């Protein structure tokens, strides 16, 4: 709306300081800030009212139709995404006795088995690393015990 940069705002501030004076300047700025806040609130309220009116009048549907007409590939992809979402949501509601339901149950079982295998593999790997660390610590202790004690110097 107003294209004010920092330099223009600085000039306005200096002029306000000279004209209004340092005593009344904070009160004036506080009142200006309140006024700007009220103006922004009114603008937000107006914008939300206009969006609500557009929703009620069907402008959104018209906008979607125009988007479809101007970008048929993007609209087709949106349709494919919606269809895929519908299919995945309907797969969870399948009849358990149908072939598709049985296949979905088998897929879920395979996924659960894969998670179990991954967990078991991770546990075995962690246990192996812990054993290697314990063996390395034991060997270090043995080497420290076998090393001769440090010689005392005759300087002291």
CA distance 125 to 63: 57
Residues 74 and 23 in one domain: yes
11 phi and psi, to 5 degrees? Answer: -65, -45
Question: Has residue 110 got a pLDDT over 70?
Answer: yes
**In the predicted model, what is the mean pLDDT of residues 37-55?**
89
pLDDT in tens, 47-106: 988 888 877 777 777 777 777 777 766 767 777 777 777 776 666 565 666 777 778 788
Residues 81 and 128 in one domain: no
- Whether 122 maps to a domain, the answer reads yes
| pLDDT at residue number 148 | 77
pLDDT in tens, 137-146: 999 898 888 8
Residues 78 and 118 in one domain: no
- Whether 156 maps to a domain, the answer reads no
Question: Has residue 156 got a pLDDT over 60?
Answer: no
Rounded to the nearest integer, the mean pLDDT of the chain is: 82
pTM for the predicted model, two decimal places = 0.34
- Whether 116 maps to a domain, the answer reads yes
The domain tally of the chain equals: 2
What HEC string does the chain produce? CCCCCHHHHHHHHHHHHHHHCCCCHHHHHHHHHHHHHHHHHHHHHHHHHHHHHHHHHCHHHHHHHHHHHHCHHHHHHHHHHHHHHHHHHHHCCCCCCCHHHHHHHHHHHHHHHHHHHHHHHHHHHHHHHHHHHHHHHHHHHHHHHHCCCCCCCCCC
Q: Supply the range of the domain harboring residue 132.
A: 100-144
């Amino acid at each position: 709306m107003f294209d004010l940069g920092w330099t223009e705002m600085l000039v306005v501030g200096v002029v306000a300081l000279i004209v209004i004076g340092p005593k009344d300047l904070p009160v004036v700025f506080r009142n200006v800030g309140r006024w700007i806040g009220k103006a922004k609130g009114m603008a937000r309220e107006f914008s939300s009212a206009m969006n609500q009116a557009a929703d009620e009048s069907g402008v959104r549907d018209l906008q979607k139709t125009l988007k479809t007409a101007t970008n048929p590939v993007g609209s087709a992809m949106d349709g494919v995404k919606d269809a895929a979402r519908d299919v995945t949501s309907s797969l969870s509601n399948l009849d358990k006795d149908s072939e598709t339901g049985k296949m979905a149950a088998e897929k879920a079982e395979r996924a659960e088995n894969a998670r179990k295998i991954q967990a078991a593999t991770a546990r075995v790997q962690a246990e192996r690393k812990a054993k290697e660390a314990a063996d390395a610590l034991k060997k270090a202790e043995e080497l420290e015990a076998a090393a001769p004690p440090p010689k005392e110097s005759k300087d002291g």
